[in-house]
Chains A and B, each alone.
Chain A
Amino acid sequence: MGDKVILLVEDNPVDVSITQRAFKKANILNRVVVMQDGVEALDYSFGGGVYAGRELDDQPILILLDLKLPRVDGLEVPRRIRADERTKLLPAVILTSSREEADVVAGYSLGANSYVRKPVNSEEFAEAVRQLGLYWMILNEDPPVRGG
């Protein structure tokens, strides 16, 4: 379990840094793979673009998605992941500063497993990340991986 990666889709390096620090402080030692935008995230997930030929059996244990991303919108990523047979069971959590109701509803309806608002307070933020990681990586079993 510990060799599985956490896919963090986030274009803000400050947020990336804070999130990584929160994982570390919560003793979650999985490698955090950071994608700068939606296109990169999808390429990684489906072995396209610069990630052509990547071993697709090695899927992330958790995807954390920022909603506001360059190029492909954050909501588009979970939609595409859910639409594909290989990745549809991956846990995806929308991690955003938006509190817009429309975003929340859209996120859930597109297959996000969870929707977490990033608090400004760094202690609260660290606590939210810790709980998310624990919930999805420890309480949830591994998703069945295709092939094998």
Chain B
Amino acid sequence: MVKFEYAPAPESTAVVDIAPSYGLFVDGAFVDPADGEPFKTVNPATEEVLCEVVAGGPADVDRAVQAARRAQDGVWSRLPGRERGKYLFRIARIMQERARELAVLETLDNGKPIRESRDVDVPLAAAHFFYHAGWADKLSYAGFGPDPKPYGVAGQVIPWNFPLLMLAWKVAPALACGNTVVLKPAETTPLTALLFAEICQQADLPPGVVNIVTGAGETGRALVEHDGVDKVAFTGSTEVGKAIARSVAGTRKRATLELGGKAANVVFEDAPIDQAVEGIVNGIFFNQGHVCCAGSRLLLQESVADEVLDSLKRRLGMLRVGDPLDKNTDVGAINSAAQLARIRELSDIGEAEGAQRWSPACELPDRGYWFPPTLFTGVSQAHRIAREEVFGPVLSVLTFRTPAEAVEKANNTPYGLSAGVWTEKGSRILWMADKLKAGVVWANTFNRFDPTSPFGGYKESGWGREGGRHGLEAYLHG
């Protein structure tokens, strides 16, 4: 067989212009912190410092919440939906216009392959604004009563795995429904949110409608616990989600939570195997496995387990791990040293508990945070790698004999975010969809996202849905 060598195909970083330091975006302008402290954000693929940003303190959060309140009372709640929508259309268009810049910046700050930020994150983020722009003047048709109202000020905290896309999932519906927002991007990935602030300025969005306060967990906590926040929206770990649920208990605050997952990807013997292998790879190695809905538990019907595994291992040998800015890269850098440590720890536990670890031969760069695509066979349901969210490129493989057993195993988790089903039999897809306790079920595909399609989990994967008509409920009351 001819082996094809890839020439390097690096995306240029000339399109982005990163300032040495950034303030907070409050009331329409970048401001110096009141009590926040500077910290550095690094490129996880090289460990080079990209710039300095601020960890907003309580006074910074307070200032942002007050700005959001003024904008809510004075401007945003008085605008007709059709005019709010025009701002969102503008934002969507500017995101499309500056797509390359956003994609390169995302890849620099996050470590994800440029192919993903360019083809998935940025177009979907723009589409999310476009879709919700259209809802702004149609809310009375959305099924929440004839004249649904916004909650007010939304405090939003988002993760580092899809920084710009998660921003879009939070900001677009909130604004479309008439809320104003204070958003805290993740500690390790603040840069596209700060560029988004600039986009809001270009769109002439009224000051205070969107406020961005960078920082880590403490900043997020200050935001979530602030009395002036009417609505909390969080995407991140189940552990923090539970803390937020406790913190809003007994208050007037509403909360939506999009938390962890341990999705089962179920492959039946009549599945199209090649297609399934592509879906398994996409399910767990897309975005380095930093995906809350990742298909991290592969359930193979025994009769095809060896065939699928052979094919899967062959396919993993083809994955290109390395420079995220290279357009041929499939798997990029792990987002942070802390996350890499967590992935290593759980993988070591997997081995220690008796599962068999396998990775393709692949050379990892010397600098930066890297972990090879990894799969574990001989995994039992009691193993920690089958129960806990690794949030990395680590797949646990289990087997089953009957559809009922597949359902039993798939649902044997405190999570319930997503699931995958692979079979050529349509009736079985729907039977499985009926039995699986998960908010999203993908059949003969995986990791599909669309602004029209509600996303969110059962059980400990969270509260509420994002996207689609159903997602509007998070920001409206009748």
Is A bound to B? Answer: no
- B residues within 8 Å of A by Cβ? none
- A residues within 8 Å of B by Cβ? none
